[in-house]
Amino acid sequence: MSDGRVINFGAGPSALPASVLEEAAKGLLNFNGTGIGIAEISHRSKEFTAFLAEVESLIRSQLDVPETHGILFTQGGGSAQFSAVVLNLLARHHLLNPDLPERDLDYVITGSWSKKAAEEARRLGGGRVNVVVDARASSKDGRTFDSIPAHASYSFTSPNPALIYYCENETVDGVEFSNDASSPASFPFHLLPQNTPLLPLVGDYSSSFMSRPIPRLADHAIIYAGAQKNIGPAGLTILIVRKDCLVDVDAAAKLGAAPVPLTMAYKTLADNSSVYNTPAVLPIYISGLVLRRSAEQGGVQYYEALNKRKADKLYAAIKEGEARGVFRAKVKEGSGSLMNVVFDVVGDGAEAKFISGAEALGMKAIKGHRSVGGIRVSLYNAVTEEQTDAIVAFMKSFLAQ
Ligand code: PLP
């Protein structure tokens, strides 16, 4: 059944394991022996309720999510969370500090997605948006996002922010925080305000969720991810929310906070076990099958080692091509994403030749994001080491021509 499939290096929606899709096809016809397909069954049936609980526990056990945090499922993708994190955390801030004249929303800007999230916060109002750091300031040309900034350039100056926001992996620009605390490209947890044990720290993990462990997970207020990179189809958003962020948004509105749509209020989702309204049943099902498979393989520790091996091979091939003047790395060494590897092919018409050469060999979706161009090879969990070896071999043959 998987015959005819090509290697999909797309950035999202992206490749899913063929074995999972084959199993999902059976579930589409008959979910769990019910005789009803997964896209047809009630989200309140006992079979689906049990499946949803299993998905939650697969995430909790693989990421070691403590009991201080709930796991919630919603829709609207990362983009809806750009708004939801602001609205919920402003409501929380109003309840904790009813009389403040000004509320700070602190953004770490390392790429196109965190920039977009900050723009949404500005659009919503209700707080003062501060830029803790803008990675463009330290880039080669002062305009592009090509590295994770040095720790010394962050200024977390708000004494009591309503939100501190960062994006772990910038899917468009190909930069990612390092998981190694001793790396200069790690997230500067040690610089965060020290006066509160319940930091309003928010991480967008859309394109790196389940690709490796999450550093200092317990210190986060909210971690969120759209499913459509490492986990499943688009349509499902996964949230890890610390329980003090499940606030009564209507009580906050009485104190002057902006009203929060009920479908966006984390407390509504939690109080209703993520089925306040009809959830994305099919994406949850496929994501659950992917997560079962990942648990069997060794979880995020297994994927961390695998993803590092894959990315190392690709970055080495780019370096080799750079030495020959054929490829050009777009990201400074040490800041490169394990998930989205970006580079340019130098010379007139060379990029188109590279893309068509790869396509002829069954390697698709390597064109960079339309806003930045170039090549982007996405190496999410479902991309195997053999598939990575295939593109590396093609890059080497391209160099040899
Ligand atoms: N954040 C990151 C890091 C992303 O990669 C994306 C989409 O690719 C988004 C947010 C926006 O997500 P969505 O398209 O699910 O709204």
Number of helices (H), then strands (E), in the chain = 10, 14
Confidence of residue 1 (pLDDT cuts 50, 70, 90): very low
* Helix spans in 167-275 (H): 249-254, 266-271
Domains located in the chain, CATH noted: 46-294 (3.40.640.10), 299-400 (3.90.1150.10)
Question: What 3-state DSSP class applies to 8?
Answer: strand
- 59: tokens are 């995430």
168 CA closest ligand 1 atom index: 3
Catalytically active residues, by annotation: 113, 204, 229
**What percent of the chain stands above pLDDT 70?**
100
pLDDT exceeds cutoff 80 at 2: no
How far is CA 331 from each of CA 143, 269, 297, 336, 376, rounded to the nearest angstrom? 13, 38, 31, 6, 12
d(CA 374, CA 368) in angstroms, rounded, equals 5
pLDDT exceeds cutoff 70 at 58: yes
pLDDT at 3: 77
Q: What number is the average pLDDT over the span 201-209?
A: 98
Span between the terminal Cα atoms of the chain, in Å: 36
d(CA 307, CA 303) in angstroms, rounded, equals 6
d(CA 133, CA 149) in angstroms, rounded, equals 8
Q: Can you point out the beta strands (E) in 196-337?
A: 201-204, 222-226, 237-242, 327-329
Residues in the chain: 401
pLDDT exceeds cutoff 70 at 30: yes
Q: How far is the CA of 242 from the centre of ligand 1 (A)?
A: 22
Residues lining ligand 1, Cβ inside 6 A: 12, 77-79, 113, 167, 171, 204, 206-207, 226
226 CA closest ligand 1 atom index: 15
User: What is the best residue among 85, 110, 171, 370 to mutate for testing ligand 1's pocket, by most ligand atoms within 8 Å of CB?
Assistant: 171
Lowest-pLDDT range, 28-42, 194-208, 328-342? 194-208
Q: What number is the average pLDDT over the span 188-212?
A: 94
Q: How far is the CA of 206 from the centre of ligand 1 (A)?
A: 6
**CB-based burial, 281-313: b 16+ in 10 Å, e otherwise:** bbbbbbbbbbbebbbeeebbebbbebbeebbeb
Q: Are 343 and 368 in contact (CB under 8 A)?
A: no
Task: Report which protein residue has its CA nearest ligand 1's atom 10.
Answer: 78
Angle between helical axes of 281-297 and 46-63 (0-180°, round to 10): 40
Confidence of residue 43 (pLDDT cuts 50, 70, 90): very high
Taking only the tens place, the pLDDT of each residue in 259-303 is 999 999 999 999 999 999 999 999 999 999 999 999 999 999 999
d(CA 78, CA 13) in angstroms, rounded, equals 13
Which of 175, 199, 201 lies closest to 186, judged by CA? Answer: 175
- 378: tokens are 């996405």
Annotate 267-285 with three-state secondary structure.
HHHHHCCCCCCCCCHHHHH
pTM score? 0.98
Q: What number is the average pLDDT over the span 146-156?
A: 97
80 CA closest ligand 1 atom index: 16
Q: What number is the average pLDDT over the span 160-174?
A: 97
Q: What number is the average pLDDT over the span 86-103?
A: 97
- 21: tokens are 């899709």
d(CA 94, CA 96) in angstroms, rounded, equals 6
Q: How far is the CA of 346 from the centre of ligand 1 (A)?
A: 29
Task: Report which protein residue has its CA nearest ligand 1's atom 15.
Answer: 77
170 CA closest ligand 1 atom index: 3
Q: Phi/psi of residue 372, each to 5°?
A: -125, -15
- 120: tokens are 């949404």
Confidence of residue 94 (pLDDT cuts 50, 70, 90): very high
Which of 123, 138, 72, 131 lies closest to 272, judged by CA? Answer: 72
Q: Is 330 exposed, middle or buried (0-12, 13-18, 19+ CB in 10 A)?
A: buried
Task: Report which protein residue has its CA nearest ligand 1's atom 2.
Answer: 206
Chain-centroid distance, C-alpha 98: 33
**Do strands 7-8 and 363-364 pair parallel, antiparallel, or not at all (unpaired)?**
parallel
pLDDT exceeds cutoff 70 at 248: yes
Q: How far is the CA of 83 from the centre of ligand 1 (A)?
A: 13
- 67: tokens are 């009991």
pLDDT exceeds cutoff 60 at 343: yes
Q: How far is the CA of 146 from the centre of ligand 1 (A)?
A: 19
Task: Report which protein residue has its CA nearest ligand 1's atom 12.
Answer: 78
Q: What number is the average pLDDT over the span 113-118?
A: 98
Average pLDDT of every residue of the chain: 97
- Torsion angle defined by CA atoms of residues 149, 225, 195 and 190, in that order, rounded to the nearest 10 degrees: -40
Taking only the tens place, the pLDDT of each residue in 122-131 is 999 999 999 9
Instruction: Count other C-beta atoms under 10 Å from residue 360's C-beta.
Output: 9
Q: What number is the average pLDDT over the span 44-64?
A: 98
More reliable by pLDDT, 195 or 73 = 73
Q: How far is the CA of 99 from the centre of ligand 1 (A)?
A: 35
User: Which run of H or E residues covers position 228?
Assistant: none
* Helix spans in 64-213 (H): 77-96, 112-124
